[in-house]
Amino acid sequence: MNKKFFEEPLEFTCVVLSGGSGTGLWPLSRSMLPKQFLGLTEDASLFQLTLRRLHDITNASNQIIVFANDDHRFLVGEQCREAGVEPRSIVLEPVARSTAPAIAVAALASQADGADPVILVLPSDHVIDNLPAFHRAVRMGSKAAEDGAMVIFGIVPTHAETGYGYIKASQAANTDAAVPVLQFIEKPDFATAQNYLKDDRYSWNSGIFMFKASVLLDEMEKANPAILKACQSAWGKAKKDLEFVRLDKEAYSSSPTLSVDYAVMEKTSKAVVLSLDAGWNDVGAWSAVWQVLPQDAQGNATRGDVLLESATNSYVHADSRLVALIGVDDLVVVETSDAVLVAHKDKAQDVKKVVERLKVQKRPEVDLHREVFRPWGSYDSVDHGERFQVKRITVKPGAKLSLQMHHHRAEHWVVVSGTASVRLGDQVKLVTENESVYIPVGVTHSLENPGKVPLHLIEVQSGSYLGEDDIVRFEDLYGRA
């Protein structure tokens, strides 16, 4: 039975929404490396697991459109390559405008060459354990969408949940047939959620949709023509940049900021709900991560170097060092190289409040980890002080940093392993293990890894200003000059 669902690919377009920030999973998730790009449940990221899930059911990468934040473009590109998936398009959102404009643009993109496909829209950061059940539901949804319905997948509730929106159907929600939607409901209080749990007409709003591109666009024009007009203009003026498609910023910025639920689904008469009972979890908080991971006999879930003594029902993530818990219950402990979170599991949702405070204080821990990923590799800020900073730099084989210069800092590079091709002014030299090179203030320079193994080096910066914005780029393989 299961094999059947993988052997019969469907003909529709998949739209993967990848613009979220994942603040509920701080300090691991940060704005420049949000939760969809993290391996929370296994080594592959949630984004990569989503791509693989869709590739299995469509059997064609070119039926996948990824909608991503511009800041994450190289992460998206690299993780697609690692997953062995080459999307039809990676569309870059110049400013955040929620899901309605993103989906409208994706629908326009899917209509190239006169096509009018059914599109499956889903977030990139959810867990779905039961793939045959997911595939079965998508097949049912595809049939309803072909007939003109706008399908939303409702999750069969397992408990009284106050963190999700709900969908009220006209009759008992069904995994075998789409049922008309009566009402979309905001996140309820606990007493109301308990009542919903007793009524089989209610389901959780998954944020997963299916409809024909033309149906979505027609309903958008009726309900929110301003969004459609802005998206048509942004798509019509879009430009190709390497493997990405850049929407016109001015046109896209003119769109109202609305979710597709508010903009269309709550206003259309074509909304139907189809039950999805496939081990779904949006892993929006650390308590949810604890739920989806394997647990020991004491109810603990751990990742990394963790030692537990008389600890129960806790989640512990150790990123860079040993973490030990003794005699505690119902805790969330998340350790990274520059921050540690300790919270009661019942208060895991309040992590977002901490993130808001960090934003007000303009703390860098909101946006960046100590290790920062770039299209050419990564750098780890090992130490810093007044007028100096030390970084550990890794350059991928064949990769090259931009030709650049700095007004306020000098740099000293020491090669730890591998071989570096260094351009310094008009000269190019090879620097190998245990050798170094000095770059004075104001001198044009670039760094390349000509070898077949990663290049590791230590960079010591010194000067009056060491910010990342003290970079003047002249040439760049990645379009940043």
DSSP per residue, 255-311: S----HIIIIITT-S-EEEEEE-S-EE---SHHHHHHHS---TTS-EEESSEEEES-
Maximum CA extent, the chain? 75
Asked whether 120 and 141 are in contact (CB, 8 A), the reply is yes
Asked whether 120 and 60 are in contact (CB, 8 A), the reply is no
pLDDT of 382-430, one tens digit each? 888 889 999 999 999 999 999 999 999 999 999 999 999 999 999 999 9
Please check whether residues 142 and 122 belong to one and the same domain: yes
Helices 131-146, 46-58: inter-axial angle, 10-degree rounding: 60
What pLDDT is stored for residue 321 in this prediction?
A: 94
> For residue 143, what is the enclosing H or E element?
helix 131-146
The length of the chain in residues reads: 481
What pLDDT is stored for residue 1 in this prediction?
A: 34
Provide the pLDDT confidence category of residue 12 given band limits of 50, 70 and 90: confident
Please check whether residues 262 and 338 belong to one and the same domain: no
Asked whether 415 and 435 are in contact (CB, 8 A), the reply is yes
pLDDT at 97 over 90: yes
pLDDT of 300-315, one tens digit each? 999 999 999 999 999 9
Please check whether residues 129 and 237 belong to one and the same domain: yes
Query: Does a structural domain hold residue 105?
Result: yes
Say which range, 218-227, 238-247, 412-421, has the weakest mean pLDDT: 238-247
What pLDDT is stored for residue 4 in this prediction?
A: 42
What pLDDT is stored for residue 350 in this prediction?
A: 93
What is the sign, positive or negative, of the torsion defined by CA atoms of 406, 412, 418, 421?
Answer: positive
Average pLDDT, stretch 134-140? 90
Supply the CATH number for residue 377's domain.
Answer: 2.60.120.10
Query: Does a structural domain hold residue 364?
Result: no
Count CB atoms within 10 A of the CB of residue 384.
12
User: Alpha-carbon distance 456 to 418, whole Å?
Assistant: 6
Average pLDDT, stretch 104-133? 91
Cβ neighbourhood burial of 334 (10 Å; 0-12, 13-18, 19+)? buried
Asked whether 227 and 216 are in contact (CB, 8 A), the reply is no
Helices 213-223, 225-236: inter-axial angle, 10-degree rounding: 130
pLDDT at 9 over 90: no
Q: What would the two tokens of residue 280 be? A: 């779904």
What pLDDT is stored for residue 6 in this prediction?
A: 42
What pLDDT is stored for residue 399 in this prediction?
A: 93
Please check whether residues 163 and 257 belong to one and the same domain: yes
Query: Does a structural domain hold residue 153?
Result: yes
What pLDDT is stored for residue 51 in this prediction?
A: 92
pLDDT at 339 over 90: yes
What pLDDT is stored for residue 84 in this prediction?
A: 87
pLDDT at 171 over 90: no
What pLDDT is stored for residue 8 in this prediction?
A: 54
Tell which of 355, 379, 404 closes a domain. Answer: 355
What is the sign, positive or negative, of the torsion defined by CA atoms of 41, 47, 52, 57?
Answer: positive
User: Alpha-carbon distance 463 to 410, whole Å?
Assistant: 6
Q: What angle do CA 327, 328, 332 make, to 5 degrees?
A: 145
To 10 degrees, the CA torsion angle through 267, 272, 278, 282?
A: 0
Query: Does a structural domain hold residue 361?
Result: no
User: Alpha-carbon distance 413 to 391, whole Å?
Assistant: 10
Supply the CATH number for residue 267's domain.
Answer: 3.90.550.10
pLDDT at 326 over 90: yes
pLDDT at 165 over 80: yes
Please check whether residues 144 and 276 belong to one and the same domain: yes
What pLDDT is stored for residue 241 in this prediction?
A: 84
Asked whether 178 and 152 are in contact (CB, 8 A), the reply is no
pLDDT at 15 over 90: yes
Cβ neighbourhood burial of 127 (10 Å; 0-12, 13-18, 19+)? buried
Nearest to 401 by CA among 384, 429, 381, 376: 376
Please check whether residues 389 and 415 belong to one and the same domain: yes
User: Alpha-carbon distance 39 to 222, whole Å?
Assistant: 41
Tell which of 242, 264, 281 closes a domain. Answer: 281
Query: Does a structural domain hold residue 480?
Result: no
Query: Does a structural domain hold residue 360?
Result: no
Exposure class string for 57-74: b at 16+ Cβ within 10 A, else e = bbebbebbbbbbbeebbb
Per-chain mean pLDDT for the chain: 91
Tell which of 301, 321, 355 closes a domain. Answer: 355
What pLDDT is stored for residue 289 in this prediction?
A: 95
What pLDDT is stored for residue 198 in this prediction?
A: 87
Please check whether residues 66 and 158 belong to one and the same domain: yes
Q: What would the two tokens of residue 120 be? A: 């499956």
Query: Does a structural domain hold residue 363?
Result: no
What pLDDT is stored for residue 368 in this prediction?
A: 84
Query: Total structural domains in the chain?
Result: 3
Please check whether residues 294 and 210 belong to one and the same domain: no
Q: What are the DSSP calls for 381-441, one per residue?
A: EEEEETTEEEEEEEE-TT-BPPEEE-SSEEEEEEEEES-EEEEETTEEEEE-TT-EEEE-T
Percent helix, strand and coil across the chain, each rounded to 5? 30, 35, 35
pLDDT at 469 over 80: yes
Domain containing 74 equals: 2-281
Average pLDDT, stretch 17-39? 90
> For residue 458, what is the enclosing H or E element?
strand 455-463
Please check whether residues 185 and 255 belong to one and the same domain: yes
What pLDDT is stored for residue 370 in this prediction?
A: 84
Please give the residue that has the higher pLDDT: either 349 or 357: 357
Query: Does a structural domain hold residue 362?
Result: no
**What share of the chain in percent tops pLDDT 70?**
96
Please check whether residues 306 and 392 belong to one and the same domain: no
Please check whether residues 112 and 148 belong to one and the same domain: yes
Please check whether residues 296 and 396 belong to one and the same domain: no
User: Alpha-carbon distance 213 to 222, whole Å?
Assistant: 15
